[in-house]
A and B are shown apart, each in its own frame.
Chain A
């Protein structure tokens, strides 16, 4: 029977499938960070349980860490306890940990792929919704809660019901200056923030195939922002090329076997999806959000929407509530919207290509008066690479701050936080009320759009720079 990519990966991971109960599926790799793991480790201790496969478990610290100092003294007392708890737990349970002093430390979804932990055809979970990122490699990767983290630790499996399948095809080629972030924001704008609920989405089409692995990660990262269980892209030569030689990628004969197995990881020609969506790449302009969820998105040459144009009462109420929160009026041109903060970073957009994209717009220019802009590389390795290329100097000379790796202002758990009334051009993934600080307003954009906004002090159509 013809199968989709998701169905192939799913079928190869079913350990137990009894009538009337959710199947038990195997987890190949488990990523762990400091915020959603302490209660899971505590649960194991209370029950006297061990980790079934500590060698398949990889931990780092990212959510709570300081981007200003690699010292525990820079953390709030509670954050410090959480970070130290992870250190203690990893030691006790034999889990590999990249702590704040290790060169591999970074945002968990940047770290996994760049170390070759993320592989096609595997099941990868983490107590973080942006685990969807790893689907860029043709892995089935999704976020789980802490009870499930504990379940995976104890059993290396999860109880899961099979999701429905959705194909999202982006046909043709994007125009110059249009990035993976614009593609995924356009998709979310089209299907809505819950358009993918209950589905695993496969992204395909020429525009997706043309993306680098980093671009594919940006797209899959935001699958959760359309409500999808996971996003996936079929592995190809670009995937293999990216992985070859990475620290935890297979070597020698194992590599050859892996390459052969990965060649099968594509949706069969006559496989049927439960739903299909098509976008034309050439229609996609630089995108940015105007409201308080990732589906409230508009093209840079567009206007803030008018709730009176919305027929559905619930949606209309959401638009009105969002407009009030973000303090924008219907009909405003997005290029007239001024910002005073810029954040370049997060598991969506903090990899080397993102920083290169941003640096193009920063080079030889200055951050506008009254604007504070920070650049937070996704990991120690990204930071090292960027510095080797001189990107840090480009940012610093332009007046951006160059920080240490971490989740930072994406969720603002550490001290990188917006103030009430701040308006931020952010390369992160969520623009919920208060996400980056109570009373603050977030506009999601690509790294190029964020850097250009930092220089101009307002949003600009970066296509005019090409």
Chain B
């Protein structure tokens, strides 16, 4: 996993609640057997007017010239609801996004994002709205997301604090391999297995 310490970049908004994983990466793109190459299909049905993906929808924010190169996505509550498909964070990260800011996230998506070095940041409704307003008002303005300081700095310099579980923060900051860490507990896993009753073993 790529470490995440601090990131400053352009942001893009999807001003809707309940952005679900079927929108983030529709099912027709889930048949691949590798983790790469999902970015071109990100938000396919909203981003393209045609099924083949040849005609960009000019009304969709990710297609607008001022948001090209964005690396931070801001959206509304319950982002990433629905399916457990990890293809959603794979697509967001492959597109070039490093952080998602929203008032709330669906649980599975939240964990999947952290496991891929994509930082989900929870801010209050008012803070998210302020970020959206500031980004809207000033083209090219950048936002900083600092995982060490646990802050988001808006284009105008307003600083918002956020929270994340200590272990998730540690793993993200250090880009740690979660499986390797757990394999270090093999003795304890074996001891647990040894005491399982026969009906569960």
Using a CB–CB distance below 8 Å, which chain A residues touch chain B?
15-16, 20-22, 24, 26, 28, 35-36, 38-39, 42-43, 47, 49, 52-53, 63-64, 76, 78-79, 81-82, 85, 119, 121-122, 127-129, 131, 142-148, 150-151, 154-157, 159, 161, 163, 193-194, 197-198, 227, 229, 250, 253-255, 257-258, 261, 293, 314-315, 317-318, 321, 411-413, 430, 432-435, 438
A159 touches B182 (CB 8 A): yes
User: CB-CB < 8 A to A435: which residues of B?
Assistant: 22
A76 touches B179 (CB 8 A): no
Give the shortest distance, in Å, between A291 (CB) and chain B (any CB): 10
A157 touches B189 (CB 8 A): yes
CA–CA, A156 and B186, complex, Å: 10
CA–CA, A199 and B20, complex, Å: 19
CA–CA, A157 and B183, complex, Å: 10
Using a CB–CB distance below 8 Å, which chain B residues touch chain A?
16-18, 20, 22-23, 26-28, 30-35, 45, 51, 76-78, 81-86, 89, 104, 106-108, 111-112, 115-116, 125, 165-168, 170, 178-179, 182-183, 185-186, 188-189, 192-193, 197-200
> Which of B18, B23, B34 has the largest count of A CB atoms less than 10 A from its CB?
B18
Tell me whether A432 and B23 are in contact in the complex, defined as CB-CB below 8 angstroms, given that A20-B167, A78-B32, A129-B83 are known contacts.
Answer: yes
User: CB-CB < 8 A to B125: which residues of A?
Assistant: 314
Give the shortest distance, in Å, between A109 (CB) and chain B (any CB): 12
* Contact partner, A227, options B22, B32, B81, B83, Cβ 8 Å: B81
> Which of A151, A159, A161 has the largest count of B CB atoms less than 10 A from its CB?
A159
CA–CA, A155 and B76, complex, Å: 36
A142-B108, A145-B89, A161-B165 provided; 15 other pairs, C-beta below 8 A?
A16-B185, A22-B167, A26-B192, A82-B31, A82-B33, A143-B108, A144-B84, A145-B84, A146-B86, A148-B115, A193-B18, A318-B18, A411-B83, A438-B26, A438-B51
A433 touches B31 (CB 8 A): no
**Closest chain A residue to B1 by CB distance?**
A147
A227 touches B167 (CB 8 A): no
A156 touches B18 (CB 8 A): no
Give the shortest distance, in Å, between B118 (CB) and chain A (any CB): 11
Tell me whether A318 and B17 are in contact in the complex, defined as CB-CB below 8 angstroms, given that A22-B167, A197-B106, A412-B27 are known contacts.
Answer: yes
* Contact partner, B26, options A79, A82, A321, A434, Cβ 8 Å: A434
A16 touches B188 (CB 8 A): yes
CA–CA, A21 and B174, complex, Å: 14
* Contact partner, A194, options B18, B116, B192, B199, Cβ 8 Å: B18
> Which of B82, B116, B168, B179 has the largest count of A CB atoms less than 10 A from its CB?
B179
B104 touches A197 (CB 8 A): yes
User: CB-CB < 8 A to A81: which residues of B?
Assistant: 31, 33
A24 touches B182 (CB 8 A): yes
**Closest chain A residue to B105 by CB distance?**
A197
CA–CA, A242 and B31, complex, Å: 35
Give the shortest distance, in Å, between B83 (CB) and chain A (any CB): 5
CA–CA, A16 and B197, complex, Å: 19
B116 touches A147 (CB 8 A): yes
User: CB-CB < 8 A to A142: which residues of B?
Assistant: 108
User: CB-CB < 8 A to B186: which residues of A?
Assistant: 155
> Which of B34, B185, B186, B192 has the largest count of A CB atoms less than 10 A from its CB?
B192
User: CB-CB < 8 A to A21: which residues of B?
Assistant: 166-167, 170
Give the shortest distance, in Å, between B74 (CB) and chain A (any CB): 14
* Contact partner, B199, options A38, A78, A255, A413, Cβ 8 Å: A255
CA–CA, A315 and B198, complex, Å: 51
B198 touches A253 (CB 8 A): yes
A143 touches B84 (CB 8 A): yes
User: CB-CB < 8 A to A314: which residues of B?
Assistant: 17, 76-77, 125
User: CB-CB < 8 A to B168: which residues of A?
Assistant: 22
A430 touches B82 (CB 8 A): yes
A433 touches B23 (CB 8 A): yes
**Closest chain A residue to B183 by CB distance?**
A155
B84 touches A15 (CB 8 A): no
A85 touches B33 (CB 8 A): yes
User: CB-CB < 8 A to B85: which residues of A?
Assistant: 35-36, 145
A250 touches B78 (CB 8 A): no
User: CB-CB < 8 A to A250: which residues of B?
Assistant: 198-199
Tell me whether A42 and B33 are in contact in the complex, defined as CB-CB below 8 angstroms, given that A145-B86, A193-B78, A293-B18 are known contacts.
Answer: yes
CA–CA, A127 and B193, complex, Å: 23
A147 touches B77 (CB 8 A): no
A151 touches B178 (CB 8 A): yes
Report the 3 A-B pairs with minimum CB-CB distance, sorted nearest first.
A145-B112, A145-B86, A38-B33
**Closest chain B residue to A125 by CB distance?**
B84
User: CB-CB < 8 A to B26: which residues of A?
Assistant: 434, 438
User: CB-CB < 8 A to A151: which residues of B?
Assistant: 178-179, 182
A321 touches B16 (CB 8 A): yes
A317 touches B16 (CB 8 A): yes
Write 19 A-B pairs (CB below 8 A) sorted by A numbering. A20-B167, A21-B167, A35-B85, A39-B33, A42-B34, A129-B108, A131-B84, A146-B35, A155-B182, A155-B185, A163-B107, A193-B78, A194-B77, A254-B198, A255-B199, A412-B27, A413-B31, A433-B22, A433-B45
Tell me whether A197 and B107 are in contact in the complex, defined as CB-CB below 8 angstroms, given that A159-B182, A314-B77, A318-B18 are known contacts.
Answer: yes
Give the shortest distance, in Å, between B168 (CB) and chain A (any CB): 8
